[in-house]
Each structure stands twice: as structure tokens, then as C-alpha cells.
Structure 1
């Protein structure tokens, strides 16, 4: 690297930070040398040790008691786990406030300043720890937690303005906009908080929508997707606007990026649009049983780009939305859950076809999944070379339970019924003659000529 092209670091940039740290360090050292400050530190240390000792004794019993509450709602169990993990801090907060109130009654207010600060700090940290547990994303939860702890500490200690000034002094200019370390931290915290809030509201709203039985499953998915896009998009832009980012340039840039993506990601955009069409026309919804090509299964979920179809053998196929729009799809449960299945069989000419029909219908009715409200029917469909051909038709309402297995059960019921009533099922017979002598060969040739 050419030394002439490097950008020298201005040592005056960090000077406000160093001055702030030196001034506050000197002030803190002066407080620690005071006698009553040392007394308050000893009291706080004693409170901490007492809270630790009580936690060692109480936590195992509380844990055993909590394990017996398996029937509690999920939210209550989660709060119970948070209390179990933060028991020492909870006890410390309670006892440090008691110590401060007692000391403020027994001595001057100036001799309890440190206890008050420690009580406020521990209370703020405990509240933030509880609040950030509601954030489902672990990375975002850690970011918000430590950011809130830092901000609360600076506010309680009275260092907020000085810290803000020091952080604003570190930065650089980008055109007409100045980007500082303070602006970066503020943007991260605001964006994380807004996204966490959007996630919380989306989860609660999605649960409420899914509990509404008057809304079809496809419309539920569409409403949840639109709500997620609206809330997360609003959180993103509100977060940028709140920290002073000019959205005009961002709009121009996003328009240019959108044109480029439109040409490069045509398939992706097509799948996204196809997914919206599927949700709007309600042709496919979660739980439907469909056949597409060689894939037969039920729809597990509808995604923005693909549909998840689970087959009977446990395989999960991710079918692009565009294939469901442009291809021929058999939806076994589109307008209703009734599915008719056909079984073909044949019996001997010696058997009475009227009796065969009645036996076949009764055999189908004996299978559990076959509907009796739409009774099975049996018809003769032809006279074959060696059998009278029949078709047995019956209805089911649970295609998700499988089609091959119900056909197999009906075939077994037919077999048992035919065996019980001496109904024979013919099969083609072939006669093979071995030509061993010349006379047999001449006879075969004469037969062929005639």
C-alpha cells in the first residue's frame, strides 16, 4: 500500500471520549475513597451474598414444584422459567430496595446515594431481562438486551448526554449526511426494537386470524402474509426515518434495483405472483389432497415461492407456485371432501351375477372408511373371455388417509366374502402340447393347413 494514499487518523477525534473517561474515572475514584461509600458497598455485597444463599436453597425446590405444573398455559410456564433463571436477581432487587429504605430512615440521604443507584440499576436490568425474553429471535434479543442495559446504565448514572456527545464526535460525512457512531447505535437499537414489536404483533394477530373459523385457510394464509409484509416493511422504513436517513435517495435506488431484479429473477417473481393468485382464488388451501404429475399427497403449507406437499411415504415435495397455476392439478378435496373410488374384478360364468353384486356391495360396506350415507354400487361392465366383469364404486371422505390402503382393504373384504359364498374368480388357462414324434408334427402341420 502506498503511504501517500493512506488517510491519517485524526487524534482529536477520540479526544472527547478520553476526556469523558478521565473525568468520570476521577469522580468515581473520589466517591470510592469516601467512608460512607465503602459502607454502602459492604451492604450491597452482603445483600448479594444473602440473595445468592437463598437462591441456592430455594431454587431446587422451586424447580421441582414447577415441573408438576405441566398443565399450565405456555405463557405462564415461560414466566415461571424466567423467574427460576432470574431468582437471584429478583431477590437482590427486593432486598436492595429494603436496605435502601431502611438506611434512608436511619441516616442522611447523602449516605444512601450508592444504594439508590444500585437499586435503580438492578431494577432496570431485571425489567429489561424480562421484557427481552418476549423476543423470539435469539440474536435480536441479545442485541436489544445489551443495548437497553447500556442505555439504562448511562441514564441512571447521569452520563447519557456526555456519552452521546462523545459518540457523535466519532464519525464521517457522506455527501450532505454525517454518519456517526451514535447514529449507527441508535439505528441498530431502534430497528431491533421496531422489528421485535412487529414480530410480536404479527404472531398475536396470526394466532387470532387462525382461530377465526369464518375465514378460509387460504385467506388466513394470505392475510398473515400481507400483515407480515406491512408490519415488517413499516418497521424498517420507520426505523430508518427515525434516525434521520433520507428515504428519497433510497426510493430511487430501490427502483433501479427493482428493474434489475425484474429481469434477473423472472422465475422468482412469477412464483411470488402465482402464490398470491393461489391464495386469492382459493383453488388450493392447506389440508387439500392433490395430484400433480406423479406426486400425490396433501398440502402442508403455502409459501411465498412454493407449496409444501407431503406424500404418504413421508416425503415432502416443494412444488413451485407457477407449476400449480400453469399445470393440470387434481384437487381431491377442492369443493368437498367426497372422493369416489372404483375397483374392477371378474367372476366365473357359473356364478349368479345378481348374487355377486349384492355380496360385493355388502363387502364394501363392511370396510370402516367406506361411506354408508353414499352407499356403494356394483355394475356389470362386460362379458370377458373367461369372466363376467364388474366395477365396484364406493365413496370416502378422508383422502388424506390414503387411497391404496382403502382399495386394498376393499379387495380383502371381497376376497373373504367370495370365499364364504363359493364365488370363484377365474383366471386365463393355457394348454401347452409337446410335439415329441414326427407323426405328431405331421398332425400339427395338417391342422395348421386346414
Structure 2
């Protein structure tokens, strides 16, 4: 048994068909106008302008590119805009020439004989302005949405089809009770949200630059302020954008609460890392530039993220340590309160060497190394009497742990080696004696 369509859907489909037919009639009328003699002349003029602008751009592009190469001292943002102009040189030439031709034709002939050229000139200028304006948007996806949306809207506006297009898009709607979602609302929402996100990104970027340049704020607090501002700005852009298109946020609040409960159970680790990251930023236990050791990983902090901390080691590897691990495990921060680090090395000398002389030579050798601090002089102590050597410990201070620890220890060992070699101090090593017992087979063979 077939069911007849509901009256609402039938009326909606009829209204949509009528509006689409009206737009089609206007398009046919516009195409019919192109068949008039003066319209053909205007199309020929537009084509000639396009060819001329292409030739001029081909001539000027290599010269502009060569001139750009000589601007080495210019700021990057200026060179970036020059590159954009270089890529859009054909469009710039076309807009310049067509507006010159349009002004001349309006002076020497009737307005109707330059009507089509005026439409193309306005379209070309508007598209060029949109192209340059959207270069300010850093996100490629958002930039594409805003650019093509602005191009489509400006084209419809210049052609006088905005009202009909809005009616068609608004008629294509989905209704459920009091809730109504039309295609026009979706288009509006995508465009407005893109604009708001672009503004939020620009404000957050400018604020981040100013905060990072403020030396009065600690590095960890700078990161916290920047992250907080980004969350606030992007959240405000999202909700204000939805409100601007008439979206009811009451249902969204209830839905977000239900989703939040589910995510709280499913994303415990992620939430734990986020909270741990906020705690790290607030208690200032680590900050970018600190030298830390986590487990067997030794390196300096490159950046603090919302979920992890980036640590770069001496061999160039970059480790992403979850924030939760920095809260729950032992972390050695070599530069937490200051950059001073004390290092210890152990060595031994023969029993025949004067220990007083050995201590003086060891202290002088350590002090001769570049990175060893002079105002915190090295010290050397005897720590025991071994089987074949007198054992010592040599302690010294450095203030640049980012320069590495293994290399400074190696340099001090080399200085000790040179000092002991010059003063006849020997470094013993285990020795073994083998005795042949008389009457044994080995002893007899040895005598033979």
C-alpha cells in the first residue's frame, strides 16, 4: 500500500521547484543578452584584456622574481607578500587593465555598451581582494572555506541572485518538531564559524607573541597563559558563531553534559595528562629549557604540550613524555632552582705516590678545564684504600648542564691523565703472578 507524501513536504518541494525555475529563467535571460552585438564586442574586449595581462605577467614575473632575490635583508612577512603578488601578477594586471578600459568606455560610449565589462571588472576586483584577504588565515582548510564562500557570495551579489539563492537554500530544510535546520543555516554557520576561528587564531597568535616576549613572566607561566587564552578564544568563537546563526545552545548544553560523562570514563588517560599538564605549569616544577632526567632519558625540555612534554637528548632524539609520568615518577631537574650542577669522578693511584701531591694535581687539572667553575673550586678526597690503589673522588661544579655531562667528565679525565703523566703519578691496574710448583707437570715442562 503506497503512502501519499505529507502536505508539508509537497508544499516544500513545490516552492523549491518554483524558485529553482525562477533562477533558471534569469540565467537564460542573461545568456540571451550575451547574444547581442555589443555583448559580443564586450566579450572580445575582455578576452583581449586577458591575453594582454597574460603577456605582461610573463614579461614582468621573471624580473620581479630576480628583484625579490636581492631583498635578503627584508623581513619575512614582506617577502611572503611579495611572493603572493608574484603568484597573482596575472590577476593584478587583468584587474588594472579592465578597470582602465571600463573608465575609458564609460566616457566615450553609452553605459549599456560597457555593462558586461563592468560586471567582469567588479567580479575580478572582488575575487582579487578576497584572495589577498584570506592569505591572513593560517589554516589551509579554513582559508579554503572562507575564500570559496566569499567568492560565491560576491558573485551572486554582483549578479543580483542573492535573494533567490537564499530562498532556495532556506527551502531545503530538515525539520523535527520545533527544530529546523536548512541548508542556508549550514552555509551561514560554516562561513561565520570560519571567520570567528580566523579572528580567534589571529588574536591568540598576537597575544602569544607578546606574552612570550615578556621576560617578567616565567617560561612555564607563559605557556599556561597562552594555552588558557587559546582555549577561551576558540571556545568563545565556537559558541558565539553558533549563536550568530540562531542555533539554540540549550540542547547543546544537555548533549555536551551527557557526552562529557561518557568521555570521562573512556578518556581517563587523556584527561589525566591534561590535568597533569596544568599542574606542571602551575607549580613551575619544569619549564622550557630545563635539563631533566626521566628514567634513562636525559635531555632538555623543548616544549610543554597539553598532553606531553617534548625532551631533546644530546644525540638529537626527541622524546614525548606523557605529563602523567612527570607527576607520578621521579624526575631529576638539573636546572630547577639554578643552573649549578656538581659532578663526581672516581680514580685511583699507586700506593707509592704521595696522596697530598695527587690531590693538588687533581684539583689543578680539573680547574684547568674550561667549563669548570672557578668561584666554586674543585675538591679532591681520599675515599678508601683498595687492593691495588688509593681511591679518590674529585668533585667540581658547572653551570651549563645543557652543554652535556659526559663530555665534561671526559675532559676532566684527560686533564688528570696529562697531569699524572707529567709528574710521574701512576694509575695502577690489577696484576697477577703465576708460580710454577716444582714437581708438577707444568714445572717440569718449563724446566725442559
Question: Fold conserved (TM > 0.5)?
Answer: yes
Tell me if the contact between 1:16 and 1:166 (Cα under 8 Å) persists in the aligned partners.
no
Residue of structure 2 equivalent to 1:255 = 257
Segment drifting more, 178-187 vs 308-317: 308-317
Residue of structure 2 equivalent to 1:52 = 54
Residue of structure 2 equivalent to 1:446 = none
Between the aligned partners of 1:244 and 1:407, the Cα distance in structure 2 is 68
Residue 389 of structure 1 and its aligned partner are, at CA, apart by 1.9
Residue of structure 2 equivalent to 1:447 = none
For the pair 1:208 / 2:204, whether they are aligned, the reply is: no
Segment drifting more, 191-200 vs 326-335: 191-200
> Could you tell me which of 420, 429, 432 is aligned with 2:431?
429
Residue of structure 1 equivalent to 2:159 = 157
Between the aligned partners of 2:92 and 2:18, the Cα distance in structure 1 is 37
Any residues of structure 2 matched to 1:376-395 within 5 Å, and which? 376-395=378-397
Between the aligned partners of 1:362 and 1:5, the Cα distance in structure 2 is 102
Residue 228 of structure 1 and its aligned partner are, at CA, apart by 0.9
Residue 4 of structure 1 and its aligned partner are, at CA, apart by 7.2
Please state whether the residue corresponding to 1:75 is helix, strand or coil.
helix
Residue 384 of structure 1 and its aligned partner are, at CA, apart by 2.8
Residue of structure 1 equivalent to 2:14 = 12
Segment drifting more, 44-53 vs 21-30: 21-30
Residue 58 of structure 1 and its aligned partner are, at CA, apart by 0.8
Residue 303 of structure 1 and its aligned partner are, at CA, apart by 1.1
Would the alpha carbon gap of residues 4 and 437 (structure 1) be closer, same or farther in structure 2, given more than 3 Å must change?
farther
Please state whether the residue corresponding to 2:431 is helix, strand or coil.
coil
Please state whether the residue corresponding to 1:367 is helix, strand or coil.
coil
Give the alignment's TM-score, normalised by structure 1. Answer: 0.92
> Could you tell me which of 86, 89, 95 is aligned with 2:88?
86
Residue of structure 2 equivalent to 1:26 = 28
Tell me if the contact between 1:103 and 1:112 (Cα under 8 Å) persists in the aligned partners.
yes
Would the alpha carbon gap of residues 154 and 408 (structure 1) be closer, same or farther in structure 2, given more than 3 Å must change?
same
Segment drifting more, 308-317 vs 146-155: 308-317
Render the CA deviation track for 1:72-114: whole Å, top value 9, x for unaligned. Answer: 2111011001100000111111111111111111122333222
Residue of structure 1 equivalent to 2:72 = 70
Render the CA deviation track for 1:311-355: whole Å, top value 9, x for unaligned. Answer: 222232222211211221110000111111011111122222222
Please state whether the residue corresponding to 2:280 is helix, strand or coil.
helix
Between the aligned partners of 2:414 and 2:213, the Cα distance in structure 1 is 42
Residue of structure 2 equivalent to 1:36 = 38
Would the alpha carbon gap of residues 433 and 183 (structure 1) be closer, same or farther in structure 2, given more than 3 Å must change?
same
Between the aligned partners of 2:21 and 2:203, the Cα distance in structure 1 is 44
Residue of structure 2 equivalent to 1:174 = 176
Would the alpha carbon gap of residues 396 and 16 (structure 1) be closer, same or farther in structure 2, given more than 3 Å must change?
farther
For the pair 1:141 / 2:147, whether they are aligned, the reply is: no
Any residues of structure 2 matched to 1:341-360 within 5 Å, and which? 341-360=343-362
> Could you tell me which of 216, 219, 227 is aligned with 1:217?
219
> Could you tell me which of 267, 280, 283 is aligned with 1:281?
283
Please state whether the residue corresponding to 1:304 is helix, strand or coil.
coil
Segment drifting more, 113-122 vs 383-392: 383-392
Between the aligned partners of 2:347 and 2:241, the Cα distance in structure 1 is 70
Residue 403 of structure 1 and its aligned partner are, at CA, apart by 1.0
Between the aligned partners of 1:337 and 1:110, the Cα distance in structure 2 is 79
Would the alpha carbon gap of residues 348 and 99 (structure 1) be closer, same or farther in structure 2, given more than 3 Å must change?
same
Give the alignment's TM-score, normalised by structure 2. Answer: 0.93
Between the aligned partners of 1:16 and 1:215, the Cα distance in structure 2 is 64
Between the aligned partners of 2:22 and 2:88, the Cα distance in structure 1 is 34
Equivalenced residue count is 440
Would the alpha carbon gap of residues 164 and 430 (structure 1) be closer, same or farther in structure 2, given more than 3 Å must change?
same
Any residues of structure 2 matched to 1:411-450 within 5 Å, and which? 411-435=413-437, 437=439
Which runs of 5 or more structure 2 residues have no equivalent in the other structure?
Answer: 444-448
The root-mean-square deviation of aligned C-alpha atoms, in Å, is 2.3
Residue 14 of structure 1 and its aligned partner are, at CA, apart by 3.9
> Could you tell me which of 275, 292, 295 is aligned with 1:293?
295
Which runs of 5 or more structure 1 residues have no equivalent in the other structure?
Answer: 442-450
Residue of structure 1 equivalent to 2:196 = 194
Please state whether the residue corresponding to 2:387 is helix, strand or coil.
coil
Residue of structure 2 equivalent to 1:119 = 121
Residue 7 of structure 1 and its aligned partner are, at CA, apart by 10
> Could you tell me which of 315, 323, 337 is aligned with 1:313?
315
Please state whether the residue corresponding to 1:301 is helix, strand or coil.
strand
Residue of structure 2 equivalent to 1:408 = 410
Between the aligned partners of 1:6 and 1:370, the Cα distance in structure 2 is 89
Between the aligned partners of 2:15 and 2:238, the Cα distance in structure 1 is 31
Tell me if the contact between 2:23 and 2:164 (Cα under 8 Å) persists in the aligned partners.
no
